[in-house]
Amino acid sequence: MSETKRVAFVVNPNSGSKRGVDIIALISKNLSDKTPYDILVWEHANNFEYIRQQITSGKYSIVVAVGGDGTVNAVAKNLINTGIALGIIPRGSGNGLARSLGIPMNTMEAIKRIESGTIRTIDNGLINGKAFFCTAGIGFDAQIGSLFAGNKKRGLYSYVQISIKQFFSYKPKEYTIQLNDDTIKIKAFLLTFANAGQYGNDFYIAPEAKMDDGLLHLVILKPINLLSVCYLIVKVLSRKAHQSKNILTFTSKNIKVKNSATIAIHFDGEPDQIENEIEVSINPASLKVLC
């Protein structure tokens, strides 16, 4: 890590499955005296304004998101094009961006990386002007994300349970997609817009995606049966999803999607609702990250 004014740790105490761990004490214990820092606790999920004011005040050259993918997204979107570097101490269920950047999942090792890591620059995606950094999507995964967000139990096991239950009732949707001067009309189980290769938990839906190439990968998962799901999971875990007969993959800088109704969507796993017409674009070389 280069010379810094101060480091801000944005701590989400309600994130992920490690809520009982005293993360503030761990930061104090594992960070050397050479690094000046402040702890900013994000107490209320719907009130980020105080945190935003602090991290963009000019006092900090590195801001560390301490939490899951939602916390990372909330912090990172305020650091776009500021020159302030994003650090991550992953404490969520998926930790997609942290894994993609090679940040350790071990909390103590991740804290030490704040001082030993290097800074690189990555792109971010935008959907109707709203930022994502790893993956965003509509369809089945967005519905699962919405149900998972409201579930009291966290972790991969809970996510898989919800997914299996919903698989048998979810109906694929019709989409009209415009990209690279082509129009595609298709029924799909889900659409994923990937700046990085994985959702999280090393589930690589777009293994060829790179975070610094100025391109987005559009992954279209065609309607599938239970047998195809088992085959697909093997491909995803072995980073060969793009070779699956059930998947179509395209690269583009701009993508437009139309659907007949308001769309359930996720941004880095965080659920939302969005208009039935969306425009997806890439914002190149927009964010510095410490990894």
pLDDT score of 93 more than 90: no
Q: How far apart are CA 206 and CA 197, in angstroms?
A: 4
Q: Residues near 139 by Cβ (< 8 Å), separated by ≥ 6?
A: 172, 173, 188, 189, 190, 191, 221, 264
**Average pLDDT, stretch 75-99?**
96
What is the DSSP annotation of 229-286? Answer: HHHHHHHHHTT-GGG-TTEEEEEESEEEEE-SSPEEEEETTEEEEE-SEEEEEEEEEE
Q: Which residues of the chain are in CATH 2.60.200.40 domains? A: 130-282
Q: How far apart are CA 246 and CA 231, in angstroms?
A: 10
CATH fold group of domain 130-282: Tumour Suppressor Smad4 (2.60.200)
What type of residue sits at position 187?
K
Please write the tens of the pLDDT for every residue from 167-208. Answer: 778 889 999 999 999 999 999 999 999 999 999 889 999 999
Please write the tens of the pLDDT for every residue from 14-45. Answer: 775 555 568 999 999 999 989 999 999 998 87
Return mean pLDDT, the chain: 90
**Eight-class DSSP state of 137:** E
CATH fold group of domain 7-117: Rossmann fold (3.40.50)
Q: Which residues of the chain are in CATH 3.40.50.10330 domains? A: 7-117
Please write the tens of the pLDDT for every residue from 154-167. Answer: 666 666 777 777 77
**Average pLDDT, stretch 252-257?**
98
Q: Residues near 83 by Cβ (< 8 Å), separated by ≥ 6?
A: 61, 288
Q: How far apart are CA 138 and CA 168, in angstroms?
A: 18
What type of residue sits at position 138?
I
